Structure 1
Amino acid sequence: MMIKPLVIAVGLTMSVMANAQSSQEVEQLRQEVQQLKALVHQYAQQNQTVQANLNQLANTAVQPPVAQKASTEKRGLGMTLGNAEFNLYGNVRMDGSYQAEGGSSARMYNQINTVPLEGVGERSDEFKSTLSATRLGMDFKAPVGAGDKALSGKIEVDFLGGDKFDNLRIRHAYMSYANWLIGQTWSNFAVPDYLPETVDALAYAGGSIKRTPQVRYTSTFSPATNLVLAVEDPKDATITGIKQRLPALTARLNHKFADNLSVSARAMGNEKRVKEDEEMAWGVGLGAKYEVVPGTTLKADYYHVKGDSSFVTYANKGVVADITDNLYQSEFDSISVGITQQFNDKLRGTLGYGYMSFDQDAGYIDALSADDKTKTNKDLWQAWANVFYSPIKPVSLGLEYVYGERTALEAATNGSNKGEDNRINMVAIYNF
């Protein structure tokens, strides 16, 4: 009889323990469910935040930009003031030259047309240096009127003015709008685009680096062809007593046959007046640039000119007058050719040759004084070779050898009619 109550007690105890264990499991399950609900709620909130951010980005992308005031912050050497953009540039340039034979000690750049004749005051074994070719310039651009049209311009100076090349002078000063240009820049007739590269800042015989005051209009026929017309003030200072009633008229037709071949045909007309007599000067020119293979470029430039000495450098006087004021004109042909090789990003070199030949007009020769006949030339030629090395991007170092001769119309009293130019040129340039 005692066994039955014991069994019942044990059963009750086990039942209570089972119920307690079941309650613990239920409570644990309830806690896990609560944790799961919290995680789901947290995920839902994060999802709503992400979606809100995406919506904000989408709305921002389609909103028009808010107008900002023009910045005056300098970027390198550029600056914006109001709606106008300015860019300051230039270089510091030091030239040196060892002159074995050549011209006046007062100046060091090319003077092939005036080098002394042999035995007539030659200057030899001289070293010269200058910083006169140091340059400073500023480009500017500002929107004008409706649309995307802008007024742009340039001001550029160096220190190659005056007889001794040590005075400030204007190189370029112009403004341009649409197809028009007004001011001083490269002549429309004597462009430097087709000249082989030189260390000498004034280039060599056969080419020209003329800048003139002008009004110019450009008409574009196609992406490859354009016609440029200009009226220019040639300022021919080589002729005594010259007067100018009208500016020179010039025309230039540029055409690009292919990416590696471009040409330029030019023409010029200009009235020359000495006292009340007048003659019409004229000239034609043809230039070409051809990239034979990448890194190898050929350049050539040709001129035929009559009655003018202002456009093409190193020419004889364009017009002379005899004792009865009859006018006679000089006439000449000139050519320069050269090849430039770009060896790598830092090194390039050029071989070049220039030649000028002047017609022997009897009236022109007779109108010259005896002294002028030894200063006036039958022909000029120069040949040069140079290398440019850029160890770092803004620095360029150049070394060049040039040899040339001039032949005068008449010999000096010692019988010599040849003058010699024999130099080594050096240059160091820092561009900014």
Structure 2
Amino acid sequence: MNTQFLNFMLKPLALACAIALPIVTHAAPASEAEVEQLRAEIKALKSMMQQYMQQQNSLSNNLAEVKAKSETAAAPGPGLKAEGLSLKTKGGAEFSLYGNIRADALYQAEGGSLPRLYNQISSVPLEGNGESSDRLKSTLAATRLGLDFKTPTQAGDVGGKLEVDFLGANDGLRIRHAYLTYGDWLIGQTWSNFAVPDYMPETIDALGYVGGAVKRTPQVRYTYKFAPATNLVLAAEDSKDDSSNMRLPALTARLNHKFSDTFAISARAMGSEKKTDADTETAWGVGLGAKLDLTDKTMVKADYYHVKGDSSFVSWTNPGFVTNANKDIIASNEFDSITLGITQQFNSQWRGTLGYGYMKADDNAGYINAFADKTKINENLWQAWANVFYSPTKPISLGLEYVYGEREAFGAAPNGSTKGEDNRLNAVAMYNF
């Protein structure tokens, strides 16, 4: 019983006793001793009530003190504050933690000679020339850790993301994404505005397959919304092309449109200056991606690129350009690539994907003849894959994938072979948190 309720009950009781005493006195004559006895009993009752109220007040104070101590003990350490289910940094930004623990393994019947597990289709050994056969490889380097931030301000929310994995040199920590957002602006490193992974069919391979790209670049990006279903994204990017002395950023544009909740496309363009100590050339490219939900459990994805003079955005291409002894740019590589696939969600626990990717380089004699070893450059590449994922419970995902691919080189090895083979079985286990 709380103090307010006791006060509510005791005051009327005392008032009733005080009123009743003169009424009793006038109603029936009583001896002076009886009156004094009644007054003494009322006084004792009031004293008992006051003592009980003091005990209740003391108990309430003790409970409040215990509650305050327990809240202090449960609070996060320095720099963090718990507010309901929200965590805050010392600077007042709300944040959430996410990531996964990922174990990859593969059995390579034929494939790349590098120790890393992931796609090496553009450099697999030609048949009969130091082939890398019957290898078992494993790693946990693709394990990720990420933080999403948001700080409310009078001018709108300021957001940010920091995501890392261990696919750097010697399994070292590397930055995947690190950027801030404010209004329609983004500054930092994230997926390239030109080489987006949104339209690649699902793979277990962390790098994807021929025809796709998983490029992340430092950039300044602006998004303009024409309508809820249509927006234009413009960016100035550092493409990190080691073959070029960058003087100007690459400029990219991407137009996204949703025809419906089940059909979306993305048209993209890129322009970049390639510079040596003696010469400059303009590289360019266009891309078109689409995804379509055939049913609520069946999705089709496709992505196409045509690029000239650049090898930094789309993966597994030939060098973008070649130079002579004077560092003059004498020829550029030009290629087309496409990837397409279908994903089926069989039920809440099982899904699978069938995919195919192809890349074809133009037969440019000036470019090809500039290479002394023509086995290092490819006329075409292709890969086909099939995978299945099983999630016994929501945080866990187990996957198995078979991939087969080939590369056809412009030049033949001493034994006459121009074909290299990628033939392997991939497996993955992930705990997402």
Work out whether the TM-score is over 0.5: yes
**Equivalent AA in structure 1 for residue 189 of structure 2:** Q
| Whole-Å separation in 2 of the counterparts to 1:249 and 1:336 | 24
State the partner residue of 2:270.
Answer: 268
Calculate percent identity across the aligned residue pairs. Answer: 66
1:180 aligns with 2:193: no
1:100 aligns with 2:109: yes
State the partner residue of 1:299.
Answer: 301
State the partner residue of 1:289.
Answer: 291
Say if 2:212 and 2:338, in contact at 8 Å, map to a contact too.
yes
| SS of equivalent to 2:82 | coil
State the partner residue of 2:227.
Answer: 222
State the partner residue of 1:53.
Answer: none
1:79 aligns with 2:98: no
Which structure is larger by alpha-carbon Rg, 1 or 2?
Answer: 1
Residues 271-420 of structure 1: pairs in structure 2 closer than 5 A:
271-327=273-329, 328-369=331-372, 371=373, 373-420=374-421
1:115 aligns with 2:116: no
| SS of equivalent to 2:367 | helix
Say if 2:285 and 2:308, in contact at 8 Å, map to a contact too.
yes
**Equivalent AA in structure 1 for residue 349 of structure 2:** K
Superimposed CA distance per residue, residues 393-418 of structure 1 (whole angstroms, 9 cap, x where no aligned partner) = 10000000000000011011111110
| Whole-Å separation in 2 of the counterparts to 1:86 and 1:284 | 37
Say if 1:322 and 1:368, in contact at 8 Å, map to a contact too.
no
| Whole-Å separation in 2 of the counterparts to 1:243 and 1:201 | 29
Superimposed CA distance per residue, residues 156-176 of structure 1 (whole angstroms, 9 cap, x where no aligned partner) = 0001112x5x12110000000
| SS of equivalent to 2:166 | strand
**Equivalent AA in structure 2 for residue 151 of structure 1:** V
**Equivalent AA in structure 2 for residue 161 of structure 1:** G
| Counterpart pick for 1:204 among 201, 209, 214 | 209
Residues 22-171 of structure 1: pairs in structure 2 closer than 5 A:
72-73=81-82, 79-81=87-89, 83-146=92-155, 149-162=156-169, 166-171=171-176
Say if 2:204 and 2:399, in contact at 8 Å, map to a contact too.
yes
Aligned length: 354
Unaligned residue ranges in structure 1 (runs of 5+): 1-69
Say if 1:323 and 1:367, in contact at 8 Å, map to a contact too.
no
Say if 2:278 and 2:326, in contact at 8 Å, map to a contact too.
no
| Whole-Å separation in 2 of the counterparts to 1:298 and 1:318 | 31
State the partner residue of 1:427.
Answer: 428
**Equivalent AA in structure 2 for residue 352 of structure 1:** G
State the partner residue of 2:198.
Answer: 193
**Equivalent AA in structure 2 for residue 413 of structure 1:** P
Superimposed CA distance per residue, residues 53-107 of structure 1 (whole angstroms, 9 cap, x where no aligned partner) = xxxxxxxxxxxxxxxxx9922777x513464211111110000000000011511
| Whole-Å separation in 1 of the counterparts to 2:299 and 2:222 | 29
Residues 362 and 122 of structure 1, relative CA distance in 2, 3 Å threshold: same
**Equivalent AA in structure 1 for residue 200 of structure 2:** L
**Equivalent AA in structure 1 for residue 181 of structure 2:** S
| Counterpart pick for 1:247 among 243, 249, 261 | 249
**Equivalent AA in structure 2 for residue 122 of structure 1:** E
Residues 74 and 423 of structure 1, relative CA distance in 2, 3 Å threshold: farther
Superimposed CA distance per residue, residues 172-215 of structure 1 (whole angstroms, 9 cap, x where no aligned partner) = 00000000000000000000000000000010001001000000
Say if 1:226 and 1:254, in contact at 8 Å, map to a contact too.
yes
The alignment's TM-score, normalised by the length of structure 2, stands at 0.80
| SS of equivalent to 2:412 | coil
| Whole-Å separation in 2 of the counterparts to 1:310 and 1:332 | 13
| Whole-Å separation in 1 of the counterparts to 2:123 and 2:87 | 45
| SS of equivalent to 1:73 | strand
Deviation at 1:236, TM superposition (A): 1.1
Runs of 4+ that moved beyond 6 A:
none
Residues 408 and 392 of structure 1, relative CA distance in 2, 3 Å threshold: same
Superimposed CA distance per residue, residues 230-269 of structure 1 (whole angstroms, 9 cap, x where no aligned partner) = 00000112x3xx2111000000000000110000000000
The alignment yields a C-alpha RMSD, in angstroms, of 1.6
Say if 1:282 and 1:306, in contact at 8 Å, map to a contact too.
yes
**Equivalent AA in structure 2 for residue 152 of structure 1:** G
| Whole-Å separation in 1 of the counterparts to 2:165 and 2:127 | 34
Unaligned residue ranges in structure 2 (runs of 5+): 1-75
| Whole-Å separation in 2 of the counterparts to 1:231 and 1:276 | 24
| Whole-Å separation in 1 of the counterparts to 2:367 and 2:287 | 23
Say if 1:117 and 1:417, in contact at 8 Å, map to a contact too.
yes
**Equivalent AA in structure 2 for residue 314 of structure 1:** W
Deviation at 1:360, TM superposition (A): 1.4
| Whole-Å separation in 2 of the counterparts to 1:183 and 1:388 | 33
Say if 1:85 and 1:142, in contact at 8 Å, map to a contact too.
yes
| SS of equivalent to 1:113 | helix
